[in-house]
Structure 1
Amino acid sequence: MADFIAGALGGACGVMVGYPLDTVKVRIQTQTNYNGIWHCIHSTYKMESVSGFFKGMSMPISTVSVSSSIVFGVYRNFLYQLCKLKYGTADIKPSKLDIFVSGYAAGAAQALVSSPADMAKVRLQTQTFPRHSSTCSLVAGPKYTGPIHCIITIVREKGFLGLYKGCSALMFRDCHSFATYFLSYAVFREWFVPVEQGSSELLGVLLSGGSAGVVAWGIATPMDVIKSRLQVDGVSQQKYRGAVHCITESVRQEGITVLFKGLSLNCLRAFPVNMVVFLTYEVLVKKIKLLTS
């Protein structure tokens, strides 16, 4: 239970740190009217002021807390049960494969829960609407007035399964990235906090968390691009028949580099976000376990 609670609070803190860059990343991945990161940032600020960078954040703050809780809770409990099954006891250092498999399970569980909220977040982030104008660069007027209205509109137009559009890409992204995420964190912890040297655990957690986030997003970015494009597809017109068609059409039209759109932003955002996530998680787990012991 401590892992679920600490994961929830760690995820919420991470969202607040990284959301503005996440908005820029989503817009670059899904829209072709930006020449680069700084052009996207300048255009967003010029049209929508600072508030444009935080569109749709209310939903992720609450839902990421839930999904982060699931990720850390499922990971720790799956790893605990896996070690008991394999070794007869959980009081043993797990192997790298054990960590990887547990992270994979956590990613699958997270994707199933977070898909509707992620759909609403991406559609709100890509709904550009000038502050003092009734025109919009994406649709003729603001189609969605907020996260709840966005979800209701999608269900009304496409049915409940419409909330899971792009879920296959999201599942593929999250399973591999979270498996890499937890494995990288474990490896970096061993590097940055060698027990025999008595290194600072706080600094080790910060460096390990940030570095693990960068590695995970390096793995996740290609499917993140496809996931985002599938989620905004159909707002005005339908372009893709599915994930494979989206990949082939995107590469055909924009080249293989399209799969790495937003990679630099993802890595730039991942380091501070995951420093905060893991630090919050590690501190709270210890505090909760002390209080309940």
Structure 2
Amino acid sequence: MDFVAGAIGGVCGVAVGYPLDTVKVRIQTEAKYTGIWHCVGDTYRRERVWGFYRGLSLPVCTVSLVSSVSFGTYRHCLEHICRLRYGSADAKPAKADITLSGCASGLVRVFLTSPTEVAKVRLQTQTQQRRLSASWSSPAHPMCPVPPAPVCPAPGPKYHGPLHCLTTVAREEGLWGLYKGSSALLLRDGHSFATYFLSYAILCEWLTPAGHSRPDVLGVLVAGGCAGVLAWAVATPMDVIKSRLQADGQGQQRYRGLLHCMVTSVREEGPRVLFKGLALNCCRAFPVNMVVFVTYEAVLRLTRGLLT
């Protein structure tokens, strides 16, 4: 049932947090934005509300599988560790057991999420790339006498949807193009999910009333929200690099790999570039993971009640 509960919780989390995720990706990949509100205002002015939901359909279709794998892998890995170390799957795990299981869940999900992350980032950023290309094609000097040229319509979007984006990337860049940034994604999700599940377990233990085995709904909300914030706090540097590597295929390729992207970004924009979107990630993580964990726990309790 952990797989089912994780799937339902993941879908609810995406519904809450996707608009801020779009803003986060654009801040990380476009140097022209000076802050969150600048990006929000520019996106709304140019694309209205729909601009915040670019690329949503694919995450919604796949997040149930990804979240299911994450929570299911964590729980089953933890049970196997407890069985090996303590002789019972129901034994209380140590902090190291939780950390190892959380890390395993983060690493496993990378193989499922990398293609969808590539499509999501390309769709979220292709409007800016199109405007940049248009500005490069403009005349060098407006006063230079040039023969009139026929007026051409503005180029349409390169990607017409998530599936079209995936097939286009695979055709133009090969199957490896679907896994651009996967090294950064591995580094991001491994330690961030270890932090995620460990902090949730510790906070739940602190917030559990005396005489009870689990926290109440308010305790789950607080623990889930704080766990999400802490996880994104440690994940943001690699998230920036991951987004830049995945957006890199829309024009002339700038980065040769993870280290080159990191060194180039820091050299051009300073060390602060690795924390672009940190405040937004943390603001988004709290309500999203409140919803994820309270839904996850509610589904588990409901199914346990029906099965007993």
Structure 2 counterpart of 1:50: 49
Give how far 1:197 is off. Answer: 7.8
Deviation at residue 90 of structure 1 after TM alignment = 1.1
State the TM-score, normalizing by the size of structure 1.
Answer: 0.95
Distance in 2 (CA, whole Å) between partners of 1:89 and 1:176 is: 26
Cα distance change on mapping 1:281 and 1:41 into 2, 3 Å: same
Is the alpha carbon distance of 1:198 and 1:111 closer, same or farther for their aligned partners in structure 2, counting shifts above 3 Å? Answer: closer
Q: Counterparts of 2:210 and 2:294 in 1: how far apart (Å)?
A: 18
Which residue, out of 174, 188, 193, partners 1:173?
Answer: 188
Instruction: Work out which of the residue numbers 231, 234, 239 in structure 1 matches 2:254.
Output: 239
Q: Distance in 1 between matches of 2:307 and 2:177?
A: 42
- Output the CA distance in 2 between the equivalents of 1:137 and 1:34: 14
1:138-195 deviation digits (Å, cap 9, x = unpaired): 6753110100000000000011111001001001100110000000000111122233
Decide whether the 8 Å contact of 1:7 with 1:69 is kept in 2. yes
**What one-letter code is carried by the residue in structure 2 that aligns with 1:215?**
L
Give the partner amino acid of 1:224: D
**Closer/same/farther in 2, CA of residues 147 and 199 from structure 1, 3 Å limit:** closer
Give, in whole Å, the separation in 2 of the partners of 1:205 and 1:112. 29
CA contact (8 A) 1:112 1:171 kept: no
Q: Deviations over 1:226-279 (max 9, x none)?
A: 000000012111000000000000000000000000000000000000000000
Give the 3 Å change call, closer, same or farther, for CA 81–264 of structure 1 in structure 2.
same
Structure 1 equivalent of residue 5 of structure 2? 6
2:92 matched residue in structure 1 = 93
Q: Based on CA coordinates, which of the two structures has the bigger radius of gyration?
A: 2
User: 3-state DSSP class of the match of 1:227?
Assistant: helix
AA of the residue aligned to 1:136: R
Q: What value does the CA root-mean-square deviation take over the aligned residues?
A: 1.7
- Structure 1 residue aligned with 2:112: 113
User: Partners in 1 of 2:164 and 2:214 — Cα distance?
Assistant: 50
Is the CA contact 1:19–1:54 (under 8 Å) kept in the aligned structure 2? yes
Q: Show the counterpart of 2:172.
A: 157
Report the residue type matching 2:131 in the other structure.
C
- Whichever residue aligns with residue 11 of structure 1, its letter is G
Q: Distance in 1 between matches of 2:283 and 2:132?
A: 27
Superposed CA deviations along residues 101-137 of structure 1, whole A, max 9, x for unmatched, are 000000011111111011101110112279xxxx634
CA shift in 2, pair 1:198/1:159, >3 Å: closer
Change (3 A) 1:34 1:129: closer
Report deviation, 1:78: 0.4
Q: CA deviation at 1:199?
A: 9.0
The residue type paired with residue 127 of structure 2 is T
Q: Which amino acid aligns with 1:77?
A: H
Q: Tell me whether 1:136 sits opposite 2:131 in the alignment.
A: yes
Q: Deviations over 1:35-68 (max 9, x none)?
A: 1110100000000000000000011111111111
In 2, distance between residues paired with 1:92 and 1:23?
A: 41
Structure 2 residue identity aligned to 1:81: H
Q: Does 1:263 align with 2:262?
A: no
Distance 2:210 2:192 in 1: 28
Q: Which amino acid aligns with 2:3?
A: F
Aligned equivalent of 2:23: 24
Mean Cα deviation higher: 107-116 or 267-276 = 107-116
**Superposition deviation, residue 292 in structure 1:** 3.2
Q: CA deviation at 1:198?
A: 9.1
Amino acid at match of 2:165: C
Residue of structure 2 equivalent to 1:73: 72
Cα gap change, 1:89 to 1:215, in 2 (>3 Å) = same
Taking only the aligned residue pairs, the percentage that are identical comes to 59
Gaps of 5+ in 1: none
CA gap of 1:247–1:86, structure 2 versus 1, over 3 A, is same
Q: Do the aligned residues in 2 keep the contact of 1:7 with 1:65 (CA within 8 Å)?
A: yes
TM-score by structure 2 length?
A: 0.90
What is the CA distance between 1:96 and its match in structure 2? 0.3
Q: How many residue pairs were aligned?
A: 288
| C-alpha separation in 2, matches of 1:57 and 1:143 | 17
